[in-house]
Amino acid sequence: MTTVYLNGDYLPLAQARVPVTDRGFVFGDGVYEVIPVYGAHLFRLEQHLVRLARSLAEIRLANPLSGAAWREVLQNLVARNGGGDQSVYVQVTRGPAPRDHAFPKDVRPTVYATSSPLKPLPADLAQNGVAAITLDDNRWQRCDIKAITLLPNILLRQQAVDAGAVEAILIRDGVITEGAASNVFMVRGGVLVTPAKGPFLLPGITRDLILELAAVNTIPYEESSFTAGALRHADEVWLTSSTREILPVTRLDQRPVGNGKPGPLWRRMMDLYQFYKQQVRERGEDVAVV
Ligand code: PDD
């Protein structure tokens, strides 16, 4: 039975309860993080806690825990769920209150964290890659906040699944922003390109790690916007996230990307990523990126 953390207590999942008046339930008024765990070590924990603090500040909700307290809670949760490899989900909502759009006064936020097994990546990933489609980015203008209010992302992802693809790659004003639940990279003439951070995409922790790995391994990269047309003519296209790592997209809108196989830079980056992950698994969070 999974153990969860809820407002200061550790309890079995089946016993965890929140009031139906919770603004997370009623309005989707809250923020979240998803943090992978390897060998009982929370991967890039500092970066996830910084992003959580930023999301909370952007929705004007005081951070309910200090950095040290977050670390303690999440490490306890990982230990209580047996260590090893896991995926930790953390959510903070504005708490239970009578329904009114404006912020309630004197409300205690709801702090929740749970853990689940990490889903394995597709077994044929290195042979076949994955399919994606492009769709109009019809989300709001603050996609940099990791908000639990995910209805647009859900509808976009479902359209991709209905089309036999794993992800929807989103286009706003002609340029690529990100995936419904991932960041997007392309490779063009040996250069790795990903959109610069801004209000229209989530500042992905995996994205940043890939750019760090590129920098220390002298792989040329750029943070700049590119069009859907450029994406269609890219040599490689990747999707990145904490739970799916780096997915090579080999079919985009039913057409092959490059030669239709995962590309050489994907293989190289995947090796660098797996090596770094292994170092964290064996030695803990603070290993240097190499
Ligand atoms: N989603 N963009 C969006 C919209 C996302 O939802 C995610 C991750 C990312 C990648 O961010 P990171 O590398 O920090 O995981 C980009 C998580 C995994 C989720 O919602 O389950």
pLDDT digits (tens, 9 = 90+) for 146-198: 999 999 999 999 999 999 999 999 999 999 999 999 999 999 999 999 999 99
pLDDT of residue 290: 86
- The residues annotated with a catalytic role in the active site are 146
Q: What is the pTM of this model?
A: 0.98
pLDDT digits (tens, 9 = 90+) for 225-256: 999 999 999 999 999 999 999 999 999 999 99
Tell me the best of 34, 144, 247 to mutate to test the pocket of ligand 1, counting ligand atoms within 8 Å of each CB and taking the most. 34
Average per-residue pLDDT in the chain?
Answer: 97
Q: Which pLDDT band holds residue 286 (cuts at 50, 70, 90)?
A: confident
Tell me how far the alpha carbon of residue 181 lies from the centroid of ligand 1, in angstroms: 5
Q: Which pLDDT band holds residue 5 (cuts at 50, 70, 90)?
A: very high
Across 51-55, 69-73, 206-210, 285-289, least confident range: 285-289
- In the chain, % of residues over pLDDT 90: 98
Nearest CA owner, ligand 1 atom 11: 204
Exposed e or buried b for every residue in 206-221, given b needs 16+ CB within 10 A?
bbbbbbebbeeeebeb
Nearest CA owner, ligand 1 atom 20: 181
CA distances from 283 to 15, 87, 211, 256 (A): 35, 19, 22, 40
CA 209 to ligand 1: nearest atom: 13
**Residue located via tokens 């990747």:** 238
Tell me how far the alpha carbon of residue 200 lies from the centroid of ligand 1, in angstroms: 13
pLDDT of residue 285: 85
